[in-house]
Every structure is written in C-alpha cells, then in structure tokens.
Amino acid sequence: MPTWLIVVIVVVAIAVLGAVIWLVTQEMQRKRLQQRFGPEYDRAVEESDNPRAAQRELAERERRHKELDIRPLSASARERYAREWAQVQEKFVDQPSAAVAEADHLLVALMAERGYPTEGYEQQLSDLSVRHAKTLEHYRAAHTTQQKRDGASTEDLRDAMVRYRTVFEDLLTDGAGEEHHDHDRRNGHRHDTEQHEHQASAQPRTEWNGGR
C-alpha cells in the first residue's frame, strides 16, 4: 500500500474520531444542562431557536453563578424571614395588593441576603435558574401579577402569593443542611440533619388560603 494512501487513511480516521468525540461531548453537555435546568432548558431553546446558542447561554449562567458568594442562611435568619412572611400573609386579608408587593420585596431581600445580585429582574431569573430552576416559573407568574396588581383580581393576587411562597420557601431552606453540617463539625458531634432541615422548612409552611 502506498505511503500516501496510508497517510490519507490515518488523517480520515483521526477526523472521524474527532467528530465522534465532539458529538459525544455535545450530547453529554446537553443532557447535563437539561438535568440541571429542567424546564428552563426548554425555555432557553425555544427563545433562542438555536439549541447550541441556548446551551452556551446556560453554561454562561453556570460560570457566573460560580463567581457569586451564595451562602446558606443561619437558623436565626430563617426564623426572622419566616416571621416576616407570616406578617405579609396576614396583611393579605385586608390589603391583598399591598401584600403581594411586600411579598415581592421580601423575596428580593432574601435573595440579597443569600448572596444573589438584585440589580435587575431578568438577571435575577438568570442567576436563580442555576439552583432554583424548578420554582422559577412560579416567580415569573407571581412577578407578572405583581406588576399589574392594581388591576388584578383577588383570586389572581392570591395565586401570586402562593407562587411567591413557593419560591420563598425554596430560597429559605436551600443550603440549610450545609449550615447545619458546618455547625456540627465545629462542635465535634453529629445531629439528625434531615430532622433539622424538616424543622427549618416547616417554619413558613403555615396552612394559608389567602384569607378565605
């Protein structure tokens, strides 16, 4: 077999192998992003009309998120926010529109204390999507109602409060186990982490029907 033919075969084989590796890598990246972002992945693809561009944008969100100083709340801070949320819920009975606005402000304050930048709503969505993609649609829907709250029905406002509470609880309890684990290590003993997280997350989960 001529040398030039051997060279051609080797070059083609390397090119094919490279293409296969690239395709496998892209598929692994797609599956990883789908698993991490869930419905947010599908939304990004639909909005961009280009799966590759959407994947790059989601990967950029991950890169930015890694640079943020996201931290869990202390037990005292979780209790404080739970009390403040309970007060907002009570206010809904007599002032539903004002209560929805306060719910939005309290959620943004919670984001800030967790370490999330709050300079703009769209950026908030982008940053939250990395760890809180499952509740992001609730935030979008609640925020939309909050923006037009003066013309919204009581039922719409009640739905917004429920959605805000879903996002609020997600942010409130996320990382609680990390804080508890650090506390255990400092004190040289172990506790039942699942019970601790359950108690922490139960704080804001008071049965509420919007005053009905």
Residues 58-67 have pLDDT tens digits of: 999 999 999 9
Residue written as token pair 């406002």 = 157
Q: What is the per-residue pLDDT across 139-190, written as a single tens digit (0 to 9) for each?
A: 999 999 999 988 899 999 999 999 999 999 999 988 655 444 444 444 444 3
Q: Output the CA torsion 196→199→200→206 (10° steps).
A: 170
DSSP state of 153: -
Average pLDDT rounded to a whole number, residues 87-106 = 95
Find all residues with CB under 8 Å of 211, minimum gap 6, and list them.
92, 93, 96, 158
Please report the pLDDT score of residue 108 as a whole number: 96
Distance between CA atoms of residues 2 and 10, nearest Å: 13
- What are 54's two structure tokens? 């959407």
Domain ranges of the chain: 3-67, 75-202
Nearest Cα neighbor of 142 from 103, 183, 181 is: 103
Structure-token match 């499952």, residue found: 134
Total length of the chain: 212
